[in-house]
């Protein structure tokens, strides 16, 4: 895996291009660096598992830009819909 340090707005734009190309990027957080990839790209997701040497049964976190994205990435059983909506209302930032 190639390492490229990106800075500023140009760095953000380059990171977006890497993500769109199905590659993983490392992002600084408050405490550590996190690995990011397109959650809808299976090959990109596998890259994260491999980089972290993480077993496939150990799920990854998916960050969503807004509530509408939930339907794109998850199937919610109708019996659980009200519980899911209550959790979203209570905990979504």
- At residue 93 the predicted structure's pLDDT band, cuts being 50, 70 and 90, is confident
| Cβ contact 69:61 at 8 Å | no
Predicted model pTM: 0.76
Which residues make Cβ contacts (< 8 Å) with residue 11, sequence separation at least 6?
A: 5
Query: What pLDDT, in 10s, does the model give residues 62-80?
Result: 988 888 888 888 889 999 9
Nearest to 23 by CA among 54, 42, 47: 47
User: If you search the block for the tokens 């059983």, which residue do you land on?
Assistant: 77
The Cα–Cα gap between 34 and 83 comes to 29
Query: What pLDDT, in 10s, does the model give residues 7-39?
Result: 889 999 999 999 999 999 999 889 999 999 999
- At residue 1 the predicted structure's pLDDT band, cuts being 50, 70 and 90, is low
The Cα–Cα gap between 72 and 42 comes to 14
């Amino acid at each position: 895996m190639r390492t490229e340090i990106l800075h500023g707005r140009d760095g953000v734009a380059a990171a977006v291009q890497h993500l769109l190309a199905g590659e993983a990027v490392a992002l600084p957080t408050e405490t550590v660096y996190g690995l990011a990839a397109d959650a809808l790209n299976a090959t990109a997701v596998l890259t994260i598992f491999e980089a972290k040497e993480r077993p496939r049964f150990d799920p990854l976190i998916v960050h969503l830009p807004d509530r509408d994205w939930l339907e794109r990435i998850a199937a919610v059983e109708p019996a659980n819909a009200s519980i899911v909506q209550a959790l979203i209302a209570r905990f979504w930032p």
